[in-house]
Chains A and B, each alone.
Chain A
């Protein structure tokens, strides 16, 4: 545990100075700001869609998550403080309940001439995050802050070096392994007008395993036969070099990273135990590498982005036993489009740390102010060439007049559900999803937006039904009365049920998943009340995904900034 007295002192400091700040609103110095995000879930059991058999549906009925963030600046210092609450929360483990509350984050920052000092909870990244990223993603309850110390030094106006050391946050505790690193970044500009600029960088991160984690690893390795056993190391090092070259409208980012030999978990390892071949978790001792590049052109009417990434054995965790989205030291950039429509975002490509070869192209063409075209193509395969994910997406936006906007397009997806969701013997999910959105402004304050989508899913020949949950139709109507009210009603309908759709008496059901939302905004406060029936799916932020069970119930949320 962290010194409670220090936290109390910080809290008192905030309270004291926020009061002082209010009293001295006209005086220079103290400034306090903050935000609140809170969600309350009321769970209504619906065993037919799979919203059952977890504590919240069975007995707890209510769950809540909240984050209160406060920032205060004075005397050349910056202070940050966050109070987190989880009551019967399903965020940490969607099939279980998590209850805890306490100080989720605090920091103190000070700039002394060229030296920057930060102590406490640090959010930072090196390059694109391939060797180190300390970040937060609340929908997945990822909070990978580094608890420790960060120093930065401005060597010259264009060159900076920074170093940090600490341990990764683990809810209200910390992992025991120590993480340390440095980054050296600069900026070079050619003397000529219309010349080029370079933003090079170099980073190193080292992770030292704690004795307990290594002891457990050794105990596990001792159960391996000689062909799989290895001598693990306490320390693992990751290096990266990166640069952004910019000339005119063209920008080129290139990053190469290497990680020294390290014990990582291979969830697809084939292991022979007592003459049986088992597929599943086994530690392997391998080095890792990533090459990542982005080339983009941005013109007046035309924009193009090309991306490529090759990943091999780049699992970098606080300890090798950490799995799924826990204990990640780094972040591998996703290589597929971030979709926003309900059906086009149903299947997502989670980043494959052990190996993937991915390409993406995104083209945007705006021939006039009224027309925008967008085409996106992505292809992700294993290093052996097996297809994991492919998407072709085309969208047109037409501003018909001042009152009407029409948007339509189509998406084609191929999704390797067997790999992404660990579901053996299921075929590649193939979908075609046309969609159309129409927005009409009745007046300056009143508008109606409608969406219609249909996802056609290919047939799973082995079972005679559609793949996964089969085909879906989705309809949404959203009425906004600016600036306060928004009312939304939608329904996701399992038009042609698939192999995983619920069934009764041997007959697949065409199930509805309706949702109704009311949003109310006043000044910087926003309230929402929703009735939700949601099918099981995969929820992703960036390239990090997890399986999310079905939801049935009522959600209430309040967000506020001050």
Chain B
């Protein structure tokens, strides 16, 4: 081998000679991308009071919400290995529905973790995706026009604390999916309670968009056949707010989604109680 460096030089040139055209970085737009009915996306953030990195994940989601406004609906689900309350905790954020949902959607490999529109994205092992992927998948989902519209009407009596919810589901095209479901949740935002953070346990941490209860079964209510016979399907639900829930911070989230092998969210909507 008389002159091996010729090979090295040649190959180096081959590998590095080509300049590439860089991608364009443009700030995200919160407009509707020209969609008549705007597509809204759901991000289900799995968290826990013992999850030290979850507050960073929540901050990311709030940042994304500041960009997408009401087109991004966030739900904080306290479930999994970090959700056991501390002795100092005055609220157990865990819910039966949350525990069932984490079993339905799969458990994260690490935290922070979230499920975007309950979709298994190309190249992912399951529905749970890490923080660095949320923005990309959300952009992808929000660029897709909705196939169904979901509208919410919420009435609330401050005296009786009764909440009445009407969900209107209007297919925007013929739906061939074998199973369509609707799920309705009630969230409570800004609950001050114990949370582990990188600076230690914080008793005054503000927990955001917390799942408190579901008005449908945890995996939704099947509406496939009901949708076939009407232009708009209306479903009614009601609930009396338990004591201790701060009504001003409560909101209702409704979303249409698939059932069976695929669980993808087709469209979602959120409305405050008043």
Interface residues of A (CB under 8 A from B): 50, 53-55, 58, 92-93, 95-96, 98, 155-156, 158-159, 161, 170-171, 173, 175-176, 182, 184, 186, 202, 204, 206, 212-223, 229-235, 237, 239, 265, 273-274, 276, 278-281, 283, 319-321, 323-324, 422-425, 549
Contacts and interface: CB of A to CB of B under 8 A. Distances in A.
Contact of A219 (B109, B122, B136, B197): B136
A321 B56 contact: no
Nearest to A216: B136
B8 A155 contact: no
B111 to A, nearest CB: 9
A204 B139 contact: no
Contact of B125 (A92, A214, A276): A92
Interface stretch (B19-27, B35-43, B170-178): B19-27
A161 B198 contact: no
B239 interface: no
B262 to A, nearest CB: 17
Interface string B33-67: 00000000000000000001101110110111011
B103 A549 contact: no
Contact of B131 (A155, A212, A281, A324): A281
A212 B122 contact: yes
A92 B108 CA distance: 11
Given A93-B109, A95-B80, A204-B15, A422 B52 contact: yes
Contacts of A173: 123
B16 A186 contact: no
B123 A274 contact: no
Contacts of A202: 8
B66 to A, nearest CB: 7
B126 interface: yes
Interface in B6-33: 7-8, 11-12, 15-16, 20, 22-28
A206 B18 CA distance: 12
A321 B130 contact: yes
A186 B1 contact: yes
A323 to B, nearest CB: 5
Most chain A CB within a 10 A radius of its CB, from B15, B123, B126, B197? B123
Contacts of B112: 280
A424 B59 contact: no
Given A186-B4, A216-B137, A424-B52, A274 B62 contact: yes
Contact of A321 (B1, B108, B133, B140): B133
A206 B15 contact: yes
A265 B106 CA distance: 24
Interface in B84-137: 103, 106-110, 112, 122-123, 125-126, 130-137
Given A184-B8, A215-B136, 4 more contacts: A53-B81, A215-B139, A222-B27, A273-B60
B199 interface: yes
15 contacts: A54-B107, A92-B125, A93-B109, A93-B125, A96-B108, A171-B125, A176-B123, A186-B4, A204-B15, A213-B123, A217-B136, A220-B132, A220-B135, A231-B22, A273-B60
Contacts of A159: 1, 4
Could you tell me the dominant secondary structure of chain A's interface residues? Answer: mixed
A279 B123 CA distance: 27
Given A93-B125, A220-B135, A184 B200 contact: no
B223 interface: no
Contacts of A171: 125
A184 B16 contact: no
Contacts of B133: 216, 220, 321
A324 B110 contact: yes
Interface of B: 1, 4, 7-8, 11-12, 15-16, 20, 22-28, 52-53, 55-57, 59-60, 62-64, 66-67, 80-81, 103, 106-110, 112, 122-123, 125-126, 130-140, 196-200
A40 to B, nearest CB: 21
Contact of A218 (B23, B56, B131): B23
A231 B25 contact: yes
A358 B131 CA distance: 30
A422 B135 contact: no
Contacts of A233: 20, 22
B86 to A, nearest CB: 12
B107 A96 contact: yes
A221 B28 CA distance: 10
A96 B110 CA distance: 11
Contacts of A425: 198-200
Q: Which of B126, B133, B137, B197 has the most A CB atoms < 10 Å from its CB?
A: B133
A290 B213 CA distance: 52
Contacts of B23: 214-215, 218, 231-232, 234
B123 A273 contact: no
A95 B83 CA distance: 14
A155 B2 CA distance: 10
What 7 pairs across the A-B complex have the smallest Cβ distances? A216-B136, A280-B56, A219-B139, A159-B1, A96-B107, A220-B135, A219-B136
A98 B125 contact: yes
Given A95-B80, A184-B7, A273-B60, A324 B109 contact: yes
Given A222-B28, A274-B62, A175 B52 contact: no
A387 B67 CA distance: 40
B83 to A, nearest CB: 9
A153 to B, nearest CB: 10
Contact of B138 (A212, A219, A230, A319): A219
Nearest to A260: B16
A44 B67 CA distance: 47
Given A233-B20, A273-B63, A93 B107 contact: yes
